[in-house]
Amino acid sequence: MKIGVLALQGAVAEHIRSLEAAGAEAVAVKRIEELDDLQGLVIPGGESTTIGKLMRKYDFISAVRDFAGQGKPVFGTCAGLIVLAARIEGQEESHLGLMNMTVARNAFGRQQESFETDLTIKGIDEGVRAVFIRAPLIKEVGPEVDVLSTYKGEIVAARQGHLLASSFHPELTDDYRLHAYFVDMARERG
């Protein structure tokens, strides 16, 4: 499985390390033509407005929509979750608009409110260590979206078919099981 990590901003190297630990070949993606030979794509954290602007500047919006339209899995973490969402609170337009969910940016507060916790994630046996940094929150989901994890009653991970999203940063721990879950999604689609 060859999985790309969108390399416009964010924890690209950390996602590559986690994907490789999960058994995939992982590459940094800087040009839209690099999407052609991938079986999956990760949109990392960073700053969602900046990522959206860079995706527009380098023609990634329609390219990633086409990629997902072919049934190829896309995994958005933190800001990547915001980029995937159909609706963003306080903003008129979304970025990719692929997942039927409404999200709130920085819902857990500022940098100093960052924290780590163990989460139960549907489809993964034991608790997964999750790092929340200025994390967004999934406020509501459509009927086709499967809630995979909650924290204090709030949705922090979800899946819609071949689309996966987490509020937290799984790439910032040595626990690569959520990346393995995504690699399995790509393998199923492959």
**How many of the other CB atoms lie within 10 Å of CB of 188?**
9
User: Does 144 qualify as catalytic in the annotation?
Assistant: no
Tens digit of each residue's pLDDT (9 = 90 or more) over 29-68 = 999 999 999 999 999 998 898 999 999 999 999 999 999 9
Summarised one tens digit per residue, pLDDT across range 108-152 is: 666 666 899 999 999 998 899 999 998 899 999 999 999 999 999
Give residue 112's pLDDT.
Answer: 60
Residue 77 has pLDDT above 90, yes or no: yes
For the chain, give the percent of residues with pLDDT over 90.
86
- Identify whether 92 is a catalytic site residue: no
> Residues 15, 162, 169, 179: which is the catalytic one?
169
Q: How far apart are CA 80 and CA 75, in angstroms?
A: 8
Backbone torsions φ then ψ of 92, nearest 5 degrees: -75, -35
What domain count does the chain have? 1
In eight-state DSSP terms, residue 107 is T
171 belongs to the catalytic site: yes
**38: Cβ contacts below 8 Å, ≥ 6 apart:** 2, 3, 4, 27, 29, 67, 72
Q: What is the pLDDT of residue 143?
A: 97
Pairing assessment for the beta strands 128-132 and 115-119 based on DSSP bridges: antiparallel
pLDDT digits (tens, 9 = 90+) for 10-28: 889 999 999 999 999 999 9
For the chain, list the strands marked E by DSSP.
2-6, 25-29, 40-43, 74-77, 85-88, 99-104, 115-119, 128-132, 137-141, 146-151, 154-160, 163-166
* Average pLDDT estimate for 171-185: 96
Which of 186, 178, 188 lies closest to 72, judged by CA? Answer: 186
The bridge status of strand 163-166 relative to strand 154-160 is antiparallel
Q: What is the mean pLDDT of residues 161-177?
A: 96
Distance CA 142, CA 155 (A): 13
Whether 106 shows a pLDDT value over 80: the answer reads: no
Whether the Cβ atoms of residue 5 and residue 28 lie closer than 8 Å to each other = yes
CATH of the domain at 92: 3.40.50.880
Q: Which of 14, 15, 78, 162 is catalytic?
A: 78
179: helix, strand or coil? helix
Record the pTM: 0.96
The parent domain of residue 35 ranges over 2-189
Q: Which of 15, 95, 171, 179 is catalytic?
A: 171
Query: Could you tell me which residue, 92 or 5, shows the higher pLDDT?
Result: 5
pLDDT of 84 higher than 90: yes
